[in-house]
Chains A and B, each alone.
Chain A
């Protein structure tokens, strides 16, 4: 498939929820485009509606204003061609690694065939969990659990991967390792990635482009390409240029949060 522009596009999207305390505007006038196979990090303070962007893309909620499109078509309901990775791996505690990874097939079609299992084992090996197929989630470390979460999201081979602060529950060392792991997977099998985070180094290390959101109501206050080639490693962020770039992002975040 030839690369197309606009894998995901938001046009003047606003989102208002009816909370118990009254209407709550989570997003306001968000316009944003992700090219196919682009890795975009969405950076913002807590409660700025970052996760709402992700749920809108997945069609789990409908925007109250504006339009969300995926591959040029308006999103009008839940779609199964996106893979979602949540903050916590949220695996099924009673199912082993392999059962968790084939779960999308089992849940959609009610049964699992040999081809699904073969595909699951291949993906499990890709995320580095070969030999752990029969383990239960409770027997795995947090990082390994999140690898299973990623494997599950990749199982249906979606073109779009939506990641909602996927590594924020992990310790710092595991978090870095998982970031590089994700880059490796993404380079081996390119996907359009929307990566929600509140960590500046994480966003800069992983993404082609960083979208900075304001506090609630969330809107896009900056959309900056990351001035860093690939492949990247632990030392990529050590240059003065990258330090300045990250300081700039920090300034944008702090300034807006105070104001």
Chain B
């Protein structure tokens, strides 16, 4: 398409329709949100200074920046790694456990009828409320934190995987049956690849939920981690450093989300919606 337009009649600049400023801004997918973000920061900074807002209510961005200096870099890394490790372990567990369950739900109507209501009940349990109970039952090491993270990130994965596995065109399942292929190949060569777009939408939702799960578990019982750091800082009324912790959590969620998107773009480009290519 692009080759044709460059080689064939390329319109003279004068012939091109006039593009308004707002249209030109729409075509800048990175610049525009960055600009908005900076504008918010400037407004925030100016607002807190003009109205002399105390920093324990809303610290200015410049005060938050000093909050990063509250602890040294190795300590930050230790906190970040503690949260990241729990989030990734819980996320990994959620993936490993949801996959066989999703295959069972997709393949067997009986299992789906029997198990699905139970899954909905588990999903309806407020994880924040169960967290203290889980900590008491499982102790205070990584295990309860991973379980809490797992619980919060598991359900969207099961739902998206099951939906994806069932979205395979019936004709391909018939083709598979007419070839008398073993069941496992129907799953690995047809159903799972077909489910890839669905699986990735679940993976993207769950990765940010996993970070939430890790933080919630640190609120309840931890001596390390960004969640712990925020709670500790607020209890000491050191709000700027609590905000710094929050900023790190936001960055962590964003980076993890983008990492999942990148894996999809690199290894499964055909599974992206047409417009995103």
Chain A contact residues, CB within 8 Å of chain B = 55, 58-60, 77-80, 82, 84, 86-88, 90, 92-94, 103-104, 106-108, 110, 136, 138
10 A-B residue pairs with Cβ-Cβ distance under 8 Å, sorted by A, are: A55-B174, A77-B180, A88-B171, A90-B172, A94-B271, A104-B175, A106-B189, A107-B175, A107-B179, A108-B181
Instruction: Find A110's partner among B172, B185, B190, B196 (CB 8 Å cutoff).
Output: B185
Q: Given A90-B171, A94-B193, A138-B270, does the pair A107, B177 have CB atoms closer than 8 Å?
A: no
**A108–B189 CA distance with the chains assembled, in angstroms:** 11
Cβ-neighbour of A82 out of B178, B194, B268, B270 (below 8 A): B178
Q: Which residues of B contact A82 (CB under 8 A)?
A: 178
Q: Are A60 and B174 in contact (CB under 8 A)?
A: yes
Q: Is the CB of B175 within 8 A of A59?
A: no
Residues of B within 8 A of A88 (CB): 169, 171
Query: Is B140 an interface position by the 8 A CB rule?
Result: no
* Known contacts A84-B174, A88-B169; A108 and B196 CB within 8 A of each other: no
- Mask, B170-200, CB within 8 Å of A = 1, is 0110111111110001000110011010000
Nearest CB in chain B: distance from A98 CB, A: 15
Give the residue of A80, A86, A103, A106 whose beta carbon is less than 8 angstroms from that of B171. A86
Chain B residues in 8 Å Cβ range of A110: 185
Q: Which residues of A contact B176 (CB under 8 A)?
A: 107
* Supplied contacts A80-B179, A88-B169, 10 more A-B pairs, CB within 8 Å: A58-B174, A59-B178, A78-B180, A84-B175, A90-B169, A90-B172, A92-B172, A92-B194, A94-B196, A136-B270
Other-chain residue from B172, B175, B180, B270 in contact with A94 (beta carbon distance below 8 A):
B270
A59 to B270 CA separation, bound complex (whole angstroms): 33
Residues of A near B268 (CB, < 8 A) are 94
Contact at A60–B190, with CB atoms within 8 Å? no
B76 to chain A minimum Cβ distance, whole angstroms, is: 41
Q: A82 to B180, alpha carbons, bound, how many Å?
A: 12
Do the beta carbons of B178 and A108 come within 8 Å of each other? no
- Chain B residues with CB under 8 Å of chain A are 169, 171-172, 174-181, 185, 189-190, 193-194, 196, 268, 270-271, 274
Partner of A92, one of B179, B180, B181, B190: B190
CB pair B179–A104 under 8 Å, yes or no, is yes
Q: For residue A58, which residues in chain B have a CB less than 8 angstroms away from its CB?
A: 174, 178
A102 CB to nearest B CB, Å: 12
Expressed in whole angstroms, the minimum distance between the Cβ of B100 and any Cβ of chain A is: 21
Q: Which residues of chain B are near A108, meaning CB under 8 Å?
A: 179-181
A79 pairs with B171, CB closer than 8 A: no
Interface of A is mostly: loop
Q: Smallest distance from the beta carbon of A99 to chain B beta carbons, Å? A: 11
From B172, B178, B181, B189, A60 is in contact (CB under 8 Å) with B178
User: Do residues A93 and B181 form an inter-chain contact, with CB atoms below 8 A?
Assistant: no
Minimum C-beta distance from B192 to chain A (A): 11
Q: How far is the CB of A207 from chain B (nearest CB, A)?
A: 23
The chain A residue with its CB closest to the CB of B186 is A107
Closest 4 CB pairs of A and B: A86-B171, A90-B171, A107-B181, A94-B270
Contacts of A104 in B (CB 8 A): 175, 179
CA distance A99 to B94 in the complex (A): 32
> A84 vs B175: C-alpha distance in the bound complex, in angstroms?
7
Question: Does B271 lie within 8 Å of A107, measured CB to CB?
Answer: no
Partner of A107, one of B169, B189, B194, B274: B189
Closest CB in chain A relative to B165 CB, distance in Å:
15
Which residue, A82, A106, A107, A108, has most C-beta atoms of chain B within 10 A? A107
Q: Among B172, B179, B271, find the residue whose CB has the most chain A CB atoms closer than 10 A.
A: B179
CA distance in complex: A138, B196 (Å): 16
- Tell me the smallest distance from the CB of A232 to a CB of chain B, in Å: 29
* Complex-state Cα separation, A28 to B25, whole angstroms: 65
In the complex, which residues of chain B have a beta carbon less than 8 angstroms from the beta carbon of A92?
172, 190, 193-194
Inter-chain CA distance A87–B205, complex, in Å, is: 35
Kindly state the separation between the CA atoms of A60 and B194 in the bound complex, as whole angstroms. Answer: 22
Q: Which residues of A contact B274 (CB under 8 A)?
A: 138
Cβ contact within 8 Å between A79 and B185: no
Residues on B with beta carbons closer than 8 Å to the beta carbon of A86: 171
A229 to B180, CA, bound (A): 39
**In whole angstroms, how far apart are the Cα atoms of A79 and B176 in the complex?**
11
Most buried by A among B174, B176, B180, B196: B174
Closest B residue, CB atoms, query A162: B178
Residue of A nearest to B193 (CB): A94
- Is the pair B178, A84 in contact by a Cβ cutoff of 8 Å? yes
B270, A79: Cβ atoms closer than 8 Å: no
Q: For residue A60, which residues in chain B have a CB less than 8 angstroms away from its CB? A: 174, 177-178
Q: How close is A15's CB to chain B, nearest CB, in angstroms?
A: 16
Chain B hits for A77, CB < 8 A:
180
**Cα A87 to Cα B169 with chains together (Å):** 12
| CA–CA, A59 and B178, complex, Å | 7
Query: Looking across the interface, which residue of chain B has its beta carbon closest to that of A105?
Result: B179
A145 to B96, CA, bound (A): 36
Q: CA A181 – CA B169 in complex, angstroms?
A: 26
